[in-house]
Amino acid sequence: MIVGICNTTTAAWLLNYRAQKGIAFPMIDDEGSGLFVLYRVGSIYGKPPPTYLIIDQGGVVRYRIDDQFGKFDEMIATIQSLL
């Protein structure tokens, strides 16, 4: 499952953004930044956006890349290798 997570907006803004951009996957408002802290995401950790993570069902990070766009093919290959 793909999920977008943002900690700088409201849930209402995220819903509107999804609709405007035609984004099909769910987006979560990480109010309080709990997920950002748990996975050490963001500039506070020296990791500028975007951050892409593949997290298994046990919560283990299997793939991570920070500060790079256009990594979808690489992520798909990683997911296929993990299946």
What is d(CA 54, CA 2) in angstroms, rounded to the nearest whole number? 9
Q: How many domains does the chain divide into? A: 1
Q: Are 63 and 83 in contact (CB under 8 A)?
A: no
| pLDDT at 77 (0 to 100) | 92
Section 47-76 average pLDDT: 88
pTM of full prediction above 0.85 = no
Helix ranges, 1-83 (H): 11-21, 34-38, 72-82
Which domain range does residue 78 map to? 4-82
| pLDDT at 63 (0 to 100) | 92
Section 16-32 average pLDDT: 89
CATH classification of the domain holding 14 = 3.40.30.10
Grade residue 49 by pLDDT with cuts at 50, 70 and 90. confident
Q: Are 66 and 53 in contact (CB under 8 A)?
A: no
- Percent of residues, the chain, with pLDDT higher than 90: 18
pLDDT above 80 for 1: no
CB-side exposure of 66: number of CA atoms within 13 Å? 12
